[in-house]
Amino acid sequence: MDIIFLIIFLLVLGILFIKYYTPKIKGFIGENKVSKALKRLNNEKYIVLNNIELNIKGSTSQIDHIIVSDYGIFVIETKNYKGWILGYEKDKYWVQAIYKYRRKFYNPVLQNQGHIYALKHVLKNYKYLRYYSIVTFTKRATLKTKTYTDVVYINRLVRTIKKYDSAYINEQTKNEIVATLLTAKINNRNQDKRIIANSKINSNGSCPNCGGNLIKRNGQYGLFWGCANFPKCKYTRKESNT
């Protein structure tokens, strides 16, 4: 009797694992592939942030990849689905088709528009920013989509990003934007220390007034450290000569 109960328990456990954890594992694999592809970008022109969660008006927005670049903000949604993927730009749902199997899922183009809305809220002090939405699939899928938004395979992702080549954001502003995003994110346990080092963020401590990141800036009287939460926080400190 105990053996039968154990077998039933293991079967139920296996079904629950497949239902709840397998999609998350596949999603993680897809995001990891994109992260590796994005390492091919020049880190002097592109700052890559992975897995950023923002809380906007009580709702959580989980963004797979954000690229803060000389050319604008790239927002990337990753899907690791197999089979045919069918859908149009404004459809509420797209369809995953594997032989006779059909499954609807929320249109990732619309999903990414929600992510951009969240980013615009966080970066509201930067009104001039251009946002580029990209949805990327692994080669497990066969894309049968018709969209104005870029929907591409991972192996074409970097090429798609590089087609936007009109630079207008300087280094200081990029660092400020990255600091603002890292301050706003709610999943700080996954903070990428390499990004912080490369963009000179937090390299001289935190703001004593609000705890925000300090960024090196160049003002009328020379270099100084200013809070990333400016203009809400106006803390500044002179650059040390030592």
| 77 token code pair | 């949604």
161 in the same domain as 174: yes
70 domain-assigned:
yes
| 115 token code pair | 């992510």
161 in the same domain as 127: yes
- The dihedral over CA atoms of 141, 155, 181, 149, expressed in degrees to the nearest 10, equals -60
Instruction: Print the domain residue range for 226.
Output: 207-241
Q: How far is CA 20 from the centre of its chain?
A: 23
Q: Phi-psi region for residue 51, left (φ > 0), alpha (ψ -120 to 50) or beta?
A: left
146 in the same domain as 106: yes
Q: What is the mean pLDDT of residues 87-109?
A: 95
117 domain-assigned:
yes
169 in the same domain as 51: yes
Burial of 198 (0-12, 13-18, 19+ CB in 10 A): middle
Laid out side by side, the sheet with 72-79 consists of: 46-56, 59-69, 72-79, 131-137, 150-153
For the stretch 157-167, pLDDT in tens is 999 999 999 99
| 240 token code pair | 């040390």
**Number of helical H runs and strand E runs in the chain:** 6, 12
Q: Which pLDDT band holds residue 223 (cuts at 50, 70, 90)? A: confident
What pLDDT score does 21 carry? 46
The number of distinct structural domains making up the chain is 2
Q: How far is CA 80 from the centre of its chain?
A: 16
